[in-house]
Structure 1
Amino acid sequence: MKQLIGNLKGDRVIWSFVALLALFSFMPVFSASSNLAYLGHGTGNTLGYLVKHLAHICIGFGIIFVVHKVPYHYFRALSKIGLPVVWILLLYTLVKGTVIAGANASRWIQIPFVGITFQTSTLASLVLFIFVARYLSKTREEPIDFKESLKELWAPVFFTLGLILPANFSTTALIFSMVLMLVFIGKYPIKYIAFIVGSGIVFLAFFVLISKAFPESRFFSRVSTWSSRIENFTTDKPDEDDYQIEKAKIAIASGRIYGLGPGKSVQKNFLPQSSSDFIYAIIVEEYGLLGGLGVLTLYLLLLFRFVIASHKANTLFGKLVVIGLGFPMIFQAMINMAVAVELLPVTGQTLPLISSGGSSIWMTCFALGIIISVTKKDEEIEEELKVAAKREEALQKLIDDELASEEVLNSDYSIEDKAANPMDAVLNK
């Protein structure tokens, strides 16, 4: 165990917070999966879902370990190569995407021969954030030409978002917001950002207008869901989302200060997405207000650590990568919690590292591996300098010892020669 911990490089505080969130996730997932167990095979036995979640977490930590060993600047070039691959996957998802876990959108693809479903938008967001960080770090020392940035930066961004939008508006909005935050931090001119925001609104309005003209098209099938969710959030019109929100609010109210206790949630049997989208409501019901605030505090501490890691990064690309990959993770958690308490309309965003699901956990771990790789760079340089200094000191000591031993040997040989050959001494006289 000590050897394994010794092989973990980078920010140990980030490692600790991630491990705490992952360990805590087992009890809520084990408890909240009961409705899926009843729907799946009618027994209500959630042990299989717990084992599945354990496998996802173990694979996720394996991803962190492997990725954090890779120098983060390698991902600079990989983002440019990976973007066309992501476009192909997103296009395939639009055409051949599948629906899982009771969701009503085709956001996943089935990986052949292994039976694993994968949400392509999660990978697309990571590649896109690294791509934006690469562009901003490349142009940092030069004045930005807006026309050139439209071609090199915004055309790939809008094309990627356009492929995600038909199936997942909330993810598209989150990615677009985080890209805007990233370019703002990267010193992209504000007047250009304002133009991009206006263009994004026009693009969305144009998409909605086309959907009204072709309401039967599968490509625009989600637009009615978006509008109904926004309408239901601002009015008292009942629908399926209101049912979920009401059950989530009942769960939160039932938890009070200390909660009902682990595994004692009642509303987990009524919430359709109790182990993913609404798992925070189950956490508050079972662990109370203290448990809910504890989870929120962990995410805020992780955000604070990302800020420190970004400040300590020795390159602009490293700073932007930490912000671009770390901040969306925390904002996604905030959105999930806000939906559970009805501060936002239903979005379908999971709680990172806690909600059940394979691809969401793995992509979160992939992002964390890159972030830890950034924090590892300074640590490695310091260790190399210390090791080099120790080696130089040891080499100098060895040289000094060799010189001292040679002097002693030379003096010893002269004494022995005189003692062994007395005639030489007489002849020399």
Structure 2
Amino acid sequence: MISFNRLKLKGDKVIWIVVFLLSIFSFLSIYSAGSNLQWNNKITALSLLLRHAMHIVMGWLIIWMLHTIHYRYFAPISVLLILPAIVLLIYTLSQGYTIGNANASRWIQIPMLGITLQSSVIAGLILLVYLSRTLSKKEDPKDWNLKSAIAQVFAPVFLVVGLVFPANFSTAALIFIQCILLMMISPFPGRYVVSLIGFGVVSFGLFVSAVVTFPELMPNRVDTWKSRIENFVSGDAEESYQVQRSKMAIANGGLIGTGPGKSTQKYFLPQSSSDFIFSIVTEEYGFVGAFILLFLYFVLLIRFLLIATRSRSVFGSLLVVSAGFGIVIQALINVGVAVNLLPVTGQTLPLISAGGSSIWTTCAAIGIVQSVSRFSSDEAEEEGSEQPHSTIAISNDDANEREEVPA
């Protein structure tokens, strides 16, 4: 068996194994669910599989490259990228286009590379890394005042979330929730967190009121949100058709499933290879397969928690929370939609669903987490090896200097 050292894979070995298992399992699911696209869009299941393989391979390269970079360098990189990310969101909102029945401008195309990108997920990750860096710079809540909180925290959060919101409400809400989570566990004043939540709720209400009063501002979007919520509550109309087919697929699966590639609902379920792929997985592999899949995400959550608590810097801990926890939250949202616990949101199942931007962003997040795990372990080993050779105590100033995050 090839060792991790020979492959030059550092960091948490359990995460490497789980990501590998999810990636391999995604090939079976994508190839099976792709039969739906073959009938509806004249895209063969093989071509979809090859495209997915390219996305996965590129995603693994992203993980490997990022895990070789010391996580402290992500702080200045996020400062440099936050403004371009906001500009990218503005461009997407004005010039982006739709894919399938997204009913909103979410994607931009890079003609030279022939690929499309969903800018919201990229900007969201950049914002979370930037916020981790900003919140870790001050160790005492008393160091914050309203002016610095608005300039350094509130403004970037509302710019990114506000620009994502018109085209992709669920992604905007997910980013906002992660930002709130970061503030709650960091040395950030609780009163400002409550103020941010209140301001977000008021802004959301005013925005919805404005577009309802003037529907020409955002044609189709308010109707889409309204219909999804109404259909979730009442169980009527076209939106509930997806949920009905999803529940039929889950029911057909039983305990051990119908077998690989033998799903019948994939021919009727829209977005069977992306938003509702969990239903196809459950139909073909049953309760056992669904449980194993959810267990793998649970293992990721446990490993993220361990890495966050073991990190020797506040920035490293916040970075793991910002980059890693979103993967698990997104997975729970996707499963919640499939089993009709949540309204249809359009969130993919990380590392399983088809899609380039979502896979690459998830892999980037995993690479960041692995960087924290790798270099935190190296620092701990270095400190442990140095202690027996020196009787000089390390002062608080020296410890803080060692944990200082680059500006």
TM-score, length of structure 2 as denominator length: 0.91
1:301-380 to 2 correspondences below 5 Å: 301-380=299-378
The AA in structure 2 aligned to 1:18 is: V
Query: Quick one: distance in 1 between partners of 2:52 and 2:162?
Result: 32
DSSP 3-state at the match of 1:353: coil
1:137-182 alpha-carbon deviations (Å, 9 max, x no partner): 0112351213320121101110111100000001111111111111
1:178-216 alpha-carbon deviations (Å, 9 max, x no partner): 111110000322222221111101101111111123212
Q: Retained in 1: the 8 A contact 2:125–2:365?
A: yes
Query: Quick one: distance in 2 between partners of 1:193 and 1:383?
Result: 37
Corresponding position of 1:292: 290
Query: Quick one: distance in 2 between partners of 1:34 and 1:239?
Result: 25
Deviation of residue 384 (structure 1)?
5.4
Deviation of residue 388 (structure 1)?
8.8
Deviation of residue 39 (structure 1)?
2.2
1:23-102 to 2 correspondences below 5 Å: 23-41=24-42, 45-102=44-101
Corresponding position of 1:416: none
Query: Quick one: distance in 2 between partners of 1:145 and 1:378?
Result: 31
Task: Name the larger-Rg structure.
Answer: 1
DSSP 3-state at the match of 2:71: coil
The AA in structure 1 aligned to 2:247 is: K
Query: Quick one: distance in 2 between partners of 1:214 and 1:38?
Result: 39
Deviation of residue 276 (structure 1)?
0.2
The AA in structure 2 aligned to 1:286 is: E
Query: Quick one: distance in 2 between partners of 1:135 and 1:207?
Result: 28
- State whether structure 2 residue 247 is matched by structure 1 residue 246: no
Corresponding position of 2:258: 260
DSSP 3-state at the match of 2:109: strand
DSSP 3-state at the match of 2:336: helix
DSSP 3-state at the match of 1:109: strand
User: CA 1:250–1:315 in structure 2 vs 1: closer, same or farther (change >3 Å)?
Assistant: same
Deviation of residue 228 (structure 1)?
1.3
1:209-288 to 2 correspondences below 5 Å: 209-217=209-217, 219=218, 221-236=220-235, 238-288=236-286
Query: Quick one: distance in 2 between partners of 1:85 and 1:216?
Result: 29
1:317-355 alpha-carbon deviations (Å, 9 max, x no partner): 000000011111100000000000000000000000000
Deviation of residue 304 (structure 1)?
0.5
Corresponding position of 1:194: 194
User: CA 1:387–1:47 in structure 2 vs 1: closer, same or farther (change >3 Å)?
Assistant: farther
TM-score, length of structure 1 as denominator length: 0.86
Runs of 4+ deviating beyond 6 Å: 385-389
Corresponding position of 1:116: 115
User: CA 1:133–1:356 in structure 2 vs 1: closer, same or farther (change >3 Å)?
Assistant: same
Query: Quick one: distance in 2 between partners of 1:16 and 1:307?
Result: 17
DSSP 3-state at the match of 1:106: coil
DSSP 3-state at the match of 2:215: coil
The count of corresponding residues between Structure 1 and Structure 2 is 387
Query: Quick one: distance in 1 between partners of 2:383 and 2:153?
Result: 38
DSSP 3-state at the match of 1:33: helix
CA RMSD of aligned residues (A): 2.0
1:387-426 to 2 correspondences below 5 Å: none
Q: Retained in 1: the 8 A contact 2:140–2:187?
A: no
DSSP 3-state at the match of 2:216: coil
1:115-138 alpha-carbon deviations (Å, 9 max, x no partner): 201000111111111111111101
User: Where does structure 2 lack aligned partners over 5 or more consecutive residues?
Assistant: 388-407
Of residues 318-327 and 379-388 in structure 1, the stretch that sits farther from structure 2 once superposed is 379-388
The AA in structure 2 aligned to 1:369 is: G
Query: Quick one: distance in 2 between partners of 1:220 and 1:197?
Result: 27
Query: Quick one: distance in 1 between partners of 2:187 and 2:237?
Result: 44
Corresponding position of 2:9: 8
